[in-house]
Amino acid sequence: QVQLVESGGGVVQPGRSLRLSCAASGFTFSSYGMHWVRQAPGKGLEWVAVIWYDGSNKYYADSVKGRFTISRDNSKNTLYLQMNSLRAEDTAVYYCAREGWGTGYCSGGSCYSKGYYFDYWGQGTLVTVSS
């Protein structure tokens, strides 16, 4: 079964850095785009970043562009989010999420997702930015 387990959250001072990890299992990690989505306390969901199945493309929400970096290690089935220059408004539960298959395609014997929705989510890790 698909499992996504985030770690690395905690309390950090404004301006400092933190790296989140998401360990994936139960599926072919290297075939799926992966996302980070966050939720501030008592608020709605906000998409943060996406990385394509092979790491070749990365895109960010304007609110984190230039401060956050998404990456992945397909050999370790792990997704990362490096968060620098943290601000109080970055306080949130951070979820990693798998991209749905969507209009996925196969090429060269391998298949890759191309969806716009998120079909599996981790349990989330809380990041609190406070002095």
Partner 1 sequence: EIVLTQSPATLSLSPGERATLSCRASQSVSSYLAWYQQKPGQAPRLLIYDASNRATGIPARFSGSGSGTDFTLTISSLEPEDFAVYYCQQRSNWPRYTFGQGTKLEIK
- Residues 41-60 close enough to bind partner 1 by CB under 8 A: 44-47, 50, 57, 59
Q: Which of 8, 9, 100, 104 binds partner 1 (CB under 8 A)?
A: 100
Nearer to partner 1, 83 or 96 (CB): 96
DSSP 53-120: TTSS-EEE-TTTTTTEEEEEETTTTEEEEEE-S--GGG-EEEEEEEEP-BT-EEETTEEE-B-SSEEE
Q: How far is the CB of 126 from partner 1 (least distance, A)?
A: 11
Nearer to partner 1, 63 or 84 (CB): 63
Local structure of 1: helix, strand or coil: coil
Q: How far is the CB of 14 from partner 1 (least distance, A)?
A: 26
| Cα(22)–Cα(32) distance, integer angstroms | 14
- For residue 27, state whether it binds partner 1 (rule: CB under 8 A): no
- For residue 117, state whether it binds partner 1 (rule: CB under 8 A): yes
Cβ–Cβ < 8 Å for 71, 82: yes
Q: How far is the CB of 40 from partner 1 (least distance, A)?
A: 12
